[in-house]
Structure 1
Amino acid sequence: MSGVFLGALGVVLFVGAWYLAVDVLQLPRFRTLPGPTEVIREWLSPHPVYGTSIFTEVYYQHIWVSVRRVTLAFVAALVVGIPLGLLLGWSTRARQFAFPVFELIRPIPILAWVPLALLMFHTREVSVVFLTFLAAFYAVTLNTLLGVQSIDQNLVRAARCLGAGPATLLRTVVIPGSLPYVFTGLQIAMGVAWFSLVAGEIIAGQYGLGYLINSSYTTTRYPTIVIAMATLGIVGFASSAVIRLVGRRLMAYRARSIGG
């Protein structure tokens, strides 16, 4: 309960500081921003002035489109990134061959990929999913690779001495040993997926929370910008919490298996 209380207190203090800066003190760099009173009133209004609230269908349509894109990209990153990370971490030759290319491409910003994504896929929807996939893919692959490299080689040698073949070694030593790193990578990947999704939706999207932020700015619907940003934070927090929950359960199962 103390953790929940402290988390709630942090949110209250943040909103309070926002309220003081915008509505009370009207600080020079904050006075033009929408305050929490205006945003909450718009967010909870059955008849929102700017057209977006919890009572409007379009609000949930934007959320659904963004969640669907992130889910597709995240699953693709998981399916591609984990096996590639295992391969790069386990095989020296594969790492020497592929890792330089991986490291050459990884620093390229997601926004730099937008023109090529549109040229490659010809549709905005697939382009946005691809851009979201890229950021998550890097995080999953790199953390899986580090997880494999972190495994104690004495465990590997012991398993081989007991007659474990490559498949058994992978199943009983490599994958369980790298799981903590893998789930750290999945949490990072989920965060950067939402980050890159917004960038893709601002430029190439037609629906979604990123698109809503950009269209609200161009039409001066400033409270809607904050509503979309807050919604991104809530949905992103929830998705990362699901990954943490699954990770804790798998780690507990792994600990019981090792203990047994």
Structure 2
Amino acid sequence: MESRRRLVRLGSILAVPVLWFVASRFGLIAGLPTPVEVADAYVAELYRDDFWISTIRSTIRVLASFVVAAAVAVPLGLLIGRYTIFADLTFPALEMLRPIPPIAWIPFTILVLPAAELSIMFITFLGAFFPILLNTIQGARGVEVEYPRAAQSLGANSYQTFRHVIFPGALPAIHAGMIVGMGLAWVNLIAAEMVAGGTGLGFLTWSAYTSGSYPTIIVGVITIGLLGAISSALVRLLGDWQIGWTEPRPN
């Protein structure tokens, strides 16, 4: 069964370049570079320092913003999820900010923050923050009432109940939010780099578009996709390690 699933997954991956070749070979999509042209451009980019600088810079931005977002969203979500008065004081304002598109924040952050780097990281932070926050809130609220009561009846104080009952009970939802948040962090990062960044994969891709280097655009897109998939897989592995006591999730 597992080998069959792997074959299906491999087939789905191989279908992409096949369809891509057909579309470019027969002109189904005007201006679409062929896989061979993109492969040649990719090899050329691997020898350019700018490509590696952009890749490293984007990766650092995403990881740093994601860590800060998780460090803020998880405790905040736990407090909102368990304490009504705290939720009434904080959640309405956060809920008003959540629907604002990240692009709308870029002019504001450029004006307010002293450096473009901080603007980019703030936009990336927002992409990860709200999915983690909302999932943490739902996870904290989803803990059965009997569990904290049972812990307290055994002598656990409020901190021990929160640490050993509420937090572990919310972990599956928290990690689901982290997986979504990591993907949205990459989305926001690329948008911010295209507008405000002088480096990064978003800026590299946009520069390729303005210069008419269409194969390089695909190189940037593929690199972003690979890094996004790898980072999401790492978050998923972290979650599987931390919540190994739950039922295995389908990969």
Match of 2:31 in 1: 32
The whole-number CA distance in structure 2 between the counterparts of 1:6 and 1:67 is 30
Among candidates 237, 243, 250, match of residue 251 of structure 1: 243
1:255 positional shift: 5.1
Match of 2:200 in 1: 208
Among candidates 95, 108, 111, match of residue 119 of structure 1: 111
Q: Deviations over 1:91-117 (max 9, x none)?
A: 111111111111100000000000111
User: What does 1:180-195 correspond to in 2, within 5 Å?
Assistant: 180-195=172-187
Match of 2:10 in 1: 8
Match of 1:240 in 2: 232
1:20 positional shift: 0.4
1:54 positional shift: 1.7
Residue type matched to 1:20 in 2? V
1:18 positional shift: 1.0
Q: Secondary structure at the match of 1:58?
A: helix
Greater shift after overlay, 190-199 or 138-147? 138-147
1:190 positional shift: 0.3
User: What does 1:88-237 correspond to in 2, within 5 Å?
Assistant: 88-237=80-229
Greater shift after overlay, 30-39 or 89-98? 30-39
Number of aligned residue pairs: 245
The whole-number CA distance in structure 1 between the counterparts of 2:237 and 2:204 is 30
- Aligned-pair identity (%): 36
Q: Deviations over 1:134-181 (max 9, x none)?
A: 111111111111100111111122112222111100111001100000
Q: Which runs of 4+ in 1 moved over 6 A?
A: none
Q: Deviations over 1:25-73 (max 9, x none)?
A: 211xx121212121012212xxx3xxxx222222111100000100110
The whole-number CA distance in structure 2 between the counterparts of 1:113 and 1:16 is 39
Residue type matched to 1:126 in 2? L
Greater shift after overlay, 168-177 or 158-167? 158-167
Q: Secondary structure at the match of 1:151?
A: coil
**TM-score, structure 2 as length reference:** 0.94
Match of 2:42 in 1: 43
Residue type matched to 1:55 in 2? Y
Give structure 1 stretches of 5+ with no counterpart. Answer: none
The whole-number CA distance in structure 1 between the counterparts of 2:175 and 2:40 is 38
The whole-number CA distance in structure 1 between the counterparts of 2:132 and 2:31 is 40
Greater shift after overlay, 211-220 or 5-14? 5-14
Q: Secondary structure at the match of 2:46?
A: coil
Greater shift after overlay, 33-42 or 122-131? 33-42
**RMSD of Structure 2 on Structure 1 (CA):** 1.3
The whole-number CA distance in structure 1 between the counterparts of 2:246 and 2:194 is 43
Residue type matched to 1:7 in 2? R
